[in-house]
């Protein structure tokens, strides 16, 4: 059960709503503030659309394009950064703007929006209900649709222009008719942009079935030489004093996703790190899987900042899953206590 990624947008909503309460009660309670909020600026060239995905997908196909649905949430800094880096920035400056304009009809929806959208002949619902029907909980989420209004690829979370270009090419070339995206990425993204960094918190474990029998939660971090976010991940998150302290509560392992060395997964199967990731349908690096007693409880496969990462680790390190039914309730309480103490929360650090 993916209780982190599938609930992240709801946790952001809780933080965003707290801003209103801050404005009302700041003088009386001296509450901390939520920082890092950033509203998305949707490019003017996005299509307004027919609010009928069947017609929008068909029209895109008639022009030799695919439909791209950008689903976001008001105030989401990950969404704003995704738009800025990929959709607003020109190719000459490292973005993907012209390529997207040429090959895709882009449409925006708000996962908490109220506009009525016809998805198919049986489904006409609000943006909010459509997002739920399509399992869109993490923002931003990008859905790529073919001429038959079928989702042929999806991206959960921020992607750098270099990583996102692989997804764009995968859809444009209709490679989805022949292969899965993790395989496509492995074949086409081979340049070395990162040298694996060591860390004092990493454990040398290869038998994850045995490790799953201990009282410690198991966290497995996947990196490799193609990861353009891994240097930042180490510097801005893993190297922080608080992160290091939380990591001590885990069997925290880093694997090279390109290694051909065999390991034992939590179910006792012999497999390589790359085979394991492909089996999970994961293409992003760095990727993190968290297990409790051999059962996957969370996965992170997109850009994350230190506040959210430390919040995730604390949920498992402090065994708060024994007190809270899910991460949402814990996250709400976690954030509430920080704000009530008068400290600020910067969700973009």
Which of 188, 212, 244 marks a domain boundary? 188
For residue 217, give its domain range.
Answer: 5-34+195-346
Same domain for 87 and 158, yes or no, is: yes
Residue 73 placed within a domain: yes
- 164-300-251 Cα angle (round to 5): 140
| Residue at 46 is within a domain | no
Q: Is residue 39 included in any domain, yes or no? A: no
**How high is the pLDDT of residue 122?**
74
Q: What is the pLDDT of residue 165?
A: 98
Domain-terminating residue out of 188, 206, 238:
188
- The answer to whether residue 26 sits within a structural domain is yes
CATH of the domain at 209: 3.40.30.10
User: Strand, coil or helix: what is 116?
Assistant: strand
Task: Give me the pLDDT at residue 15, please.
Answer: 54
Task: Provide the b/e sequence for 193-229 (b: ≥16 CB within 10 Å).
Answer: ebebeeeebbeebeebeebbeeebbbbbbbbbbbbbb
Phi, psi of 221 (to 5 degrees): -105, 125
- Do 225 and 252 sit in the same domain of this protein? yes
Report the pLDDT value the prediction gives residue 24, as an integer from 0 to 100.
47
The rounded distance, in Å, linking the Cα atoms of 201 and 250 is: 9
Alpha helices for the chain (secondary structure H): 8-29, 53-62, 77-82, 97-103, 127-133, 161-172, 181-188, 208-211, 230-233, 241-247, 273-280, 306-317, 327-340
Round to whole Å and give the CA distance between 111 and 135. 10
179 shares its domain with 219: no
The total number of structural domains that make up the chain: 2
241 and 177 together in one domain: no
Shared domain for 229 and 124, answered yes or no, is no
* Residues 18 and 57 placed together within one structural domain of the fold: no
The answer to whether residues 166 and 249 belong to one domain is: no
* Domain membership flag for residue 43: no
117 part of a folded domain:
yes
- Asked if 316 and 236 sit in the same domain, the reply is yes
pLDDT value of position 75: 92
Same domain membership, residue 212 and residue 288: yes
CA separation for the pair 169, 152 (Å, rounded): 13
| Residue 87, domain member (yes or no) | yes
Where a domain ends, among 163, 188, 213?
Answer: 188
Asked if 30 and 131 sit in the same domain, the reply is no
pLDDT of residue 332: 85
pLDDT at 36: 94
Residues 6+ apart with CB under 8 A from 93: none
Cβ pair 139, 79 in contact under 8 A = yes
* DSSP-based three-state secondary structure for 323: coil
Considering the domain boundaries, does residue 201 fall inside one?
yes
Is there a contact between 328 and 34 (Cβ–Cβ < 8 Å)? Answer: no
* The pLDDT of residue 5: 47
Whether residue 302 is found in the same domain as residue 228: yes
Q: Which pLDDT tens digits describe the chain residue by residue (349 residues)?
A: 444 444 555 555 555 545 544 554 545 557 899 999 998 899 999 998 768 889 999 999 999 999 999 999 999 999 999 999 999 999 999 999 999 999 999 999 999 888 988 887 777 889 888 888 888 877 999 999 999 999 999 999 999 999 999 999 999 999 999 999 999 999 999 999 999 999 999 999 999 999 999 999 999 999 999 999 999 999 999 999 999 999 999 999 999 999 999 999 999 999 999 999 999 999 999 999 999 999 999 999 989 999 999 999 999 999 999 998 777 788 888 899 999 999 999 999 9
Residues 201 and 342 in one domain: yes
């Amino acid at each position: 059960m993916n209780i982190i990624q599938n609930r992240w947008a709801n946790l952001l909503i809780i933080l965003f709503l707290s801003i209103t309460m801050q404005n009302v009660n700041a003088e009386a309670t001296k509450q901390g503030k939520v920082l890092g909020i950033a509203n998305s600026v949707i490019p003017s060239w996005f299509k307004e659309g027919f609010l009928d995905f069947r017609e929008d997908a068909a029209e895109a196909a008639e022009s030799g394009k695919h439909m791209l649905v950008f689903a976001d949430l008001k105030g989401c800094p990950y969404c704003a950064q995704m738009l800025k880096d990929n959709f607003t920035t020109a190719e000459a400056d490292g973005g993907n703007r012209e390529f997207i304009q040429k090959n895709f009809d882009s449409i925006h929806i708000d996962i908490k929006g109220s506009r009525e959208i016809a998805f198919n002949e049986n489904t006409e619902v609000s943006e909010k209900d459509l997002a739920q029907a399509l399992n869109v909980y993490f923002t931003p989420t990008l859905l790529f649709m073919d001429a038959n209004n079928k989702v042929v690829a999806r991206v959960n979370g921020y992607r750098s222009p270099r990583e996102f270009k692989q997804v764009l090419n995968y859809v444009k070339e209709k490679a989805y008719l022949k292969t899965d995206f993790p395989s496509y990425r492995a074949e086409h993204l081979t340049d070395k942009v990162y040298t694996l960094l060591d860390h004092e918190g990493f454990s040398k474990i290869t038998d994850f079935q045995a490790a799953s029998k201990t009282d410690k939660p198991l966290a497995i971090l996947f990196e490799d030489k193609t990861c353009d976010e891994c240097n930042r991940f180490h510097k801005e998150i893993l190297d922080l004093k608080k992160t290091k302290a939380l990591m001590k509560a885990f069997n925290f392992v880093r694997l090279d996703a390109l290694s051909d060395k065999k390991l034992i997964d939590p179910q006792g199967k012999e497999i390589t790190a790359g085979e394991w990731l492909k089996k999970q349908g994961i293409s992003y690096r760095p990727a993190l899987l968290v297990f409790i007693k051999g059962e996957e409880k969370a996965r992170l496969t997109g850009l994350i900042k230190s506040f959210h990462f430390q919040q995730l680790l604390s949920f498992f390190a402090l065994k708060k899953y024994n007190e809270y039914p899910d991460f949402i309730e814990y996250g709400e309480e976690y954030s509430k206590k920080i704000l009530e103490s008068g400290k600020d929360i910067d969700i973009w650090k």
